Amino acid sequence: MADQLAIGSRRGLRPALPLLLPAYLWLTVAIFLPLSAMVFFSFMTDLPLAGKDWAFTLGNYAAFFSQSLYSTLLFASLRLGLEVTLWCVVIGYPAAYVLAKVLKGRSREAIFLLVILPFWSNGLVRIFSWAMVLREGGILDTALNAVLPFKINIDLMYSYPAVIIGLVHSYVPYMVLTCYLTLQAIDDSLIEAGRSLGASRRQVLWRVIIPLSMPGLIAGSALIFVPVVGSFMEPRILGGRTGTFYGTVIEDQFVAVFNWPLGAALSFILLAVVLIILALAAPVLRRAG
């Protein structure tokens, strides 16, 4: 690895350019151009496409600071992101551990498939199946009432927990996969070495395995936290009236109110906040990893 880098820098970047060109071309067309258009829109009073008059303004950004609703919703979304990430760690890490260190052969493949299945199903289908499970008189309600001797009323639909459940289900595979990869790379003899030195299973877990799987936990958390903060589909469908978050407000600007400039400005504020959070967390995480 170090050798390859050394060779690369000695030869310089020039020979690599033809190889990099297609990728950069694609990035320019697919991401950079639309994104710059959005930056442009975010400083406009109205869309030029509609044929109306427009002018440059900072008003879209000012709106975020003048109306407390937006910052309140942003905080709610950040909290949602944090909670979903934590649940994904709590559920995904043990699953990854079992996959990487306990199961062998066939059973590992089968369980692995089950874990990444949600990845392959359509997001809307997934969310509406949860809606069927969680609503009053739905599958969970019926099943629990069939088993329990007393009557209970489970109606999780259109609630905060429903949003959490839906999001965790959508995003937990990321955590399982990233943690599985780092756990897989931990040599079993490290675990045995820890035990031979007098550490119990639990001590080995806390002092050896978890520190060594930090890169996977961090990568998984970043992969989950960022999209969850901006999510709108799960909050809208599973959260109903309680499901108003920062992401749903942005979506509204684009598909309902057609205030693209405000939607774009709100998106860039979110992007800035997320980047600041990641930058602040980086030194702490680097020390942990």
Partner 1 sequence: MAGVQVANVSRSFGAHKALDDVSIDFADGGFYALLGPSGSGKTTLLRQIAGFDFPDSGRITIGGESVERVPVEKRRIGMVFQNYALFPNMSVADNVAFGLSVRGEPKATIAAEVQRALDLVQLGKLGGRKPHQLSGGQRQRVALARAIVTKPRVLLLDEPLGALDKALRVDMQIELKRIQREIGITTIFVTHDQEEALTMSDRIGILRDGRLVQEGPPEEIYDRPQSEFAATFLGDANIFRGNATGSGIKLPDGTTIAASTGASVPAGARASCAVRPERIQISTGAAKADPANANTLKGQVSKRIFAGNNSTYFVERDGQTLKVIVQNTGAERLAEGQPVVLSWSPDSTVLIAA
The Cα–Cα gap between 251 and 113 comes to 33
The residue (of 67 and 200) whose beta carbon lies closer to partner 1 is 200
> Rounded to the nearest whole angstrom, what is the least distance from the CB of residue 205 to partner 1 in the complex?
12
**How near is the Cβ of 286 to partner 1 at its closest, in Å?**
13
Q: How far apart are CA 68 and CA 118, in angstroms?
A: 37
Closest contact distance (angstroms) between CB of 181 and partner 1 is: 16
CB of 179 to partner 1, least distance (A): 16
> What would the x/- binding string for partner 1 be over residues 210 to 249, using CB under 8 A?
-xx-------------------------------------
Q: What does R_g of the chain's alpha carbons equal in angstroms?
A: 24
Query: Alpha-carbon distance 69 to 65, whole Å?
Result: 9
Question: Is 193 a residue that touches partner 1 (CB under 8 A)?
Answer: yes
Least spacing, CB of residue 89 vs partner 1, in Å: 19
- Using CB under 8 A as the binding rule, whether residue 53 contacts partner 1 is answered as no
* Residue 209 CB contacts under 8 Å (≥ 6 apart), including other chains: 97, 183, 186, 191
Which of 225, 234, 229, 72 is CA-nearest to residue 160?
234
Is 194 an interacting residue with respect to partner 1 (CB under 8 A)? yes
Looking at the Cβ atoms of 53 and 187, the one nearer to partner 1 is 187
Nearer to partner 1, 121 or 200 (CB): 200
Residue pair 161/238 in contact (Cβ under 8 Å)? The answer is no
Rounded CA-CA distance 272/36 in Å is 15
Chain-centroid distance of CA 278 in Å reads: 13
Cα–Cα dist 274/280, whole Å:
10
Structure tokens at 156: 């999780």
What are residue 44's phi and psi, to 5 degrees?
-105, 155
H helix runs in 98-155, sequence order: 106-120, 123-134, 139-147
Say whether residue 197 binds partner 1 (CB under 8 A).
Answer: yes
Task: From 39-47, 103-111, 127-135, 191-199, give the range in contact with partner 1 by CB under 8 A.
Answer: 191-199
Under rule CB under 8 A, which residues in 60-99 are in contact with partner 1? none
CA angle 194, 197, 198 (to 5 degrees): 100
Q: How far is the CB of 202 from partner 1 (least distance, A)?
A: 10
Q: Which stretch binds partner 1 (CB under 8 A): 55-63, 105-113, 186-194, 239-247?
A: 186-194
- Work out how close the CB of 44 gets to partner 1 at its nearest, in angstroms, rounded to a whole number: 51
User: What is the size of the binding site for partner 1 (CB under 8 A)?
Assistant: 17
Exactly one of 207, 257, 272, 275 binds partner 1 (CB under 8 A); that residue is: 207
Q: Which residues bind partner 1 (CB under 8 A)?
A: 187, 189-190, 192-200, 203, 207-208, 211-212
